[in-house]
């Protein structure tokens, strides 16, 4: 049981991270290596709060699952609305999307904010679970590792298909 709950929690944390990055890369085309920072911030914040107020671990797994599902629903929401259509368009041809009346910078900023928020939530669950956090877990290498997640778990198009020209490294 302990193994299953351990597996479940770690799975949920990485699922949320995957959703966050997939939203950024898969839908709007940005490669973000910044998410280790938000993930770390979430973890630190939660650990500090927990030490102050205490937290019971008994409800942890269901809570973690629920939040993951909410994140998933949010990603689906974004993808299916008119907003999602615009995001997909701007990933492929930003200039053209602008001609059609969209202020693409606003769209990019919004999707970055949502993606960072999701990574933060994932981090706070990890913080709650392992209780001990230090800076070593949240450096650039972690960001690259998270990016490897969406490569391994897949995003909209695989690496080889897109021309290397299309790869934009966006560091906000």
Partner 1 sequence: MALKDVLKKYKPLDTGLSKERMDVFQQGLDAISVKHLTKAFGDMKALDDLSISFPKSLVTGLIGPSGAGKSTLINLITGALKPDDGLIALNGQAYSFIEPYRMREFKVARTFQNGRVIGRLSVEDNLLLAVAKNNVWQGLKEFETEPYKKKLEGILIKTGLKEYRRKKAAELSVELKKMLDIGRALMQDADIYIFDEPFTGISSKMLEDVLSAVDILRVEAKTVILIEHNMSLIEKLSDYLIVLDHGKVLADGAPKDVLKNKRVRDALKM
Q: Shortest approach of partner 1 to residue 91 CB, angstroms?
A: 8
Note whether 85 binds partner 1 by CB under 8 A: yes
Max Cα separation, the chain? 56
Note whether 82 binds partner 1 by CB under 8 A: yes
Which member of 57, 59, 98, 144 binds partner 1 (CB under 8 A)? 98
Q: What is the residue whose two structure tokens read 């709950």?
A: 5
Closest-CA residue to 37 (of 108, 118, 120, 133): 120
**31 or 94: whose CB is closer to partner 1?**
94
Closest-CA residue to 21 (of 142, 106, 139): 142
Which member of 3, 53, 99, 132 binds partner 1 (CB under 8 A)? 99
> Across the strands, what pairs with 31?
169
Which member of 30, 39, 107, 146 binds partner 1 (CB under 8 A)? 107
Closest-CA residue to 90 (of 106, 77, 76): 106
Q: For 64, how many CA atoms within 13 A lie in the half-sphere containing its CB?
A: 26
Note whether 167 binds partner 1 by CB under 8 A: no
Note whether 96 binds partner 1 by CB under 8 A: yes
Q: Shortest approach of partner 1 to residue 105 CB, angstroms?
A: 9
């Amino acid at each position: 049981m302990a193994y299953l709950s351990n597996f479940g929690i770690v799975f949920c944390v990485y699922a949320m991270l995957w959703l966050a990055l997939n939203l950024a890369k898969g839908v709007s085309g940005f490669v973000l290596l910044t998410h280790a920072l938000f993930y770390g911030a979430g973890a630190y914040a939660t650990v500090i709060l927990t030490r102050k107020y205490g937290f019971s671990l008994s409800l942890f797994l269901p809570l973690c699952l629920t939040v993951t599902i909410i994140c998933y629903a949010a990603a689906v929401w974004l993808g299916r609305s008119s907003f999602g259509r615009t995001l997909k368009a701007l990933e492929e041809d930003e200039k053209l999307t602008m001609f059609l009346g969209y202020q693409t910078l606003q769209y990019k900023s919004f999707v970055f904010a949502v993606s960072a928020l999701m990574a933060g939530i994932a981090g706070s669950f990890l913080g709650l679970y392992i209780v001990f956090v230090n800076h070593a877990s949240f450096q650039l290498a972690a960001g690259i590792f998270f990016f490897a997640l969406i490569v391994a778990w897949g995003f909209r198009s695989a690496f080889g298909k897109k021309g290397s020209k299309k790869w934009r490294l966006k560091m906000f």
